[in-house]
Structure 1
Amino acid sequence: MRLKSVFAAASVCLATAACLTAAGPAVAHSSYGNACSSAVSLAGFSDVLDKTSYDGTYVGNLSALARDRDGALVALSDRSSLFRLDAKTLRPKGVVALADESGGALDSEGVVVDRDGTRLVTSETEPSVRRYSRDGRLLGRLPVPASLQVAPAGRATANGTFEGLTLLPDGRTLVASMEYALSGDSAGIVRLQTWRRHGTQWRLGAQYAYRADDGLGVPEITATPDGRLLVLERGFTSGVGNTIRLHLADLRHATDTSGIENLTGHKSVRLAKKTPLADLVDCPTLGATAKQPQPNPLLDNIEGMAVTGHDHHTGRLNVLLVSDDNQNTAQTTRFYRLTVRLPRQGGA
């Protein structure tokens, strides 16, 4: 199948996995000249996988990204498919189907590649975090607090649970983000649940609270090399389009909220420290087009994010985003390559 490709590439690639290249020569742009903000620049975008199929599986509905241990990319579809992508071309190299304990489909939203190569995958149906082998065999399931379950079992709303998943650099702490607030919590306050590794087991750890901007949810989180979190916030208004913002969260000094039932009016609760990095509406379009109204034609339903490179001299990160097209003709599967400069980490 002929793949549609729209591509704008940077002339400098700090890490091989961050360089998006479509078939044929790339168009060169300054790595840091296409500013979205003082901290974030758009290095390029690619629609190479939009409305394509691979090995009989639709390549779309992409809700999460991660780097595999060999440098390839892992892209998760919320329709229970897990793709391996070539880090340079973004073209699929393989796909495996995922299923729950009964062989049923997942509403799969977040993915982490663990240090042994196993895949940790969230489903927002219950919600759940399951472990899979590289070939898609179900290996186990992590415990989830009762309060985070979808009502009436818990206090979460349907389609508003585990969207983001990331492993901190210590390799021992897993973090999942709820998309929206629990019933009884203030609007915009989302819970971040952690697990700690004990030998071969994952046990429930601390829980933290993060405040999303008004009207937005949290579709993805990704750990930075210094242990902070990049947080993607997203919203959609019919006839207007998407709002996509990138923030930095620091969990140090935040209150462990695992024992607090309702986060409303608790003045003693310290939220995760939040630092705005960019509103993607301010990014250059680089010639992008949209199939539906958008405040910037570059934007779409962005859900996946991964750090693909780190320049130790400058501290800049290469960050890859992907949009979920919902298998909708009015939406686009689009990859975005950002260069992100993080503010210095404050003292302990």
Structure 2
Amino acid sequence: MRLRTVLASTAAALTAATCLTAAGPATAGPATASAHRGGSCSPSVTLDGFSDALDKTEFHGTFVGNVSALAVDRDGSLAALSDRSSLFGLDARTLAPRSVIALADEHGAELDSEGLAVDRDGTRLVTSETEPSVRRYSRDGRVLERLPVPSALLVAPAGRATANLTFEGLTLLPGGHTLLAAMESAISGDSPDIVRFQTWRRAPGAPFTPAAQYGYRTDAGLGVPEVQATGDGRLLVLERGFTAGVGNTVRLYLADPRRATDTGGTENLTGQRGVRLITKTLLADLADCPSLGATAKQPQPNPLLDNIEAMAVTGRDHGTLRTLLASDDNQNPAQTTRFYRLRIRLPH
């Protein structure tokens, strides 16, 4: 189904639902269109629409959900990563599933797969929160390479990270020579609101090796589920949290690591003098977006919100980024797999 757009109509929604069903054995719910117009979330961010078409569906016997990351593939289609070790290919326009492959580690064990980047040769770079790790996969799901990870970022007792709070975001920076992964939460010894962003660099024809590391200060009580390169050296950063009985907080920031201190040799990040953290500027609190007729299955400050965890820049147009977000439903009846289309105007 198409995203609910500014000019959505019942006829258009029914047509999109037909496209989705025709793609294969994906079971989609009834197509319902919003009569509400898209609108502004902030001066910098516009919500064009959303879709719940893939919520609680299956494709070739695999549950379509648990979406933890998105990336644009080399052919313009979308790659959608499930944290249950599945990688889906989606139609970029309709979101219809086209393919699915299972991922595993070198021993055939499932991953807690969270971050995704498609390299220039079409191979997939995928993070897992288990160790954490970054692996390179072929298009058919074979492990090709495992990148080294600094010991402090490993899960305790091997390192200082907390299980299930490690590499969530992954992105390739302009030129494809630098890969950046974002920790979801702080490691022990660091201030609880400072998370580490780790990079790897490669020379032409050489593999990625660990490079600079940076500190990023989150808003109180929030973590980092995703990062995406903007194309000019800056980053889009999602911050997210959840409060029972209240719902999700999801904020979108523009972050600039270009003048930040390399903290790879700093044992404890506590906001000390002499360490320049990544600077950030709020683009939008997504609770301020128009709801567009969305409904929530549990309390939310805005019924549009859910557990938003995935993000991809799908196009660029004169300083505006076309961006797709998706929520991770955790295969939970009280949560929704929802896709959101945004337009983001970057400040200079």
1:288 aligns with 2:294: yes
Deviations 1:102-140 (Å, cap 9, x if unpaired)? 100000000000000000000011000000000001101
Share of identical aligned residues, percent? 72
Name 1:257's counterpart in structure 2. 263
**d(CA) in 1 for partners of 2:34 and 2:166?**
40
1:319 aligns with 2:323: yes
Letter in 2 for 1:300: D
Name 1:22's counterpart in structure 2. 16
1:157 aligns with 2:125: no
**d(CA) in 2 for partners of 1:37 and 1:22?**
29
Name 1:331's counterpart in structure 2. 335
**d(CA) in 1 for partners of 2:111 and 2:158?**
18
1:290 to 1:27, Cα distance in 2 relative to 1, 3 A = closer
- Offset at residue 23 of structure 1 (A): 2.9
Name 2:22's counterpart in structure 1. none
1:115 aligns with 2:120: yes
- Offset at residue 7 of structure 1 (A): 4.4
- Offset at residue 6 of structure 1 (A): 8.4
The SS at the match of 1:227 is: coil
1:168 to 1:69, Cα distance in 2 relative to 1, 3 A = same
1:1-348 equivalences in 2 (<5 Å): 7-10=3-6, 22-23=16-17, 34-198=39-203, 199-312=205-318, 315-344=319-348
When normalised by structure 2's length, the TM-score is 0.91
8 Å CA contact retained: 1:310, 1:316: yes
Letter in 2 for 1:271: L
8 Å CA contact retained: 2:2, 2:94: no
When normalised by structure 1's length, the TM-score is 0.91
8 Å CA contact retained: 1:151, 1:157: yes
The SS at the match of 2:17 is: coil
**d(CA) in 2 for partners of 1:167 and 1:7?**
27
The SS at the match of 2:39 is: coil
**d(CA) in 2 for partners of 1:28 and 1:75?**
28
Deviations 1:156-193 (Å, cap 9, x if unpaired)? 11111000000011110000000001101111100000
8 Å CA contact retained: 1:303, 1:322: yes
Aligned residue pairs: how many? 328
Deviations 1:235-271 (Å, cap 9, x if unpaired)? 0001110000000110111000000010125211000
1:265 to 1:332, Cα distance in 2 relative to 1, 3 A = closer
1:285 to 1:28, Cα distance in 2 relative to 1, 3 A = closer
Question: Which ranges in structure 2 are unaligned for 5 or more consecutive residues?
Answer: 9-14, 19-30
Letter in 1 for 2:17: A
Displaced runs of 4 or more, over 2 A: 21-30
**d(CA) in 2 for partners of 1:339 and 1:223?**
15
Name 1:15's counterpart in structure 2. none
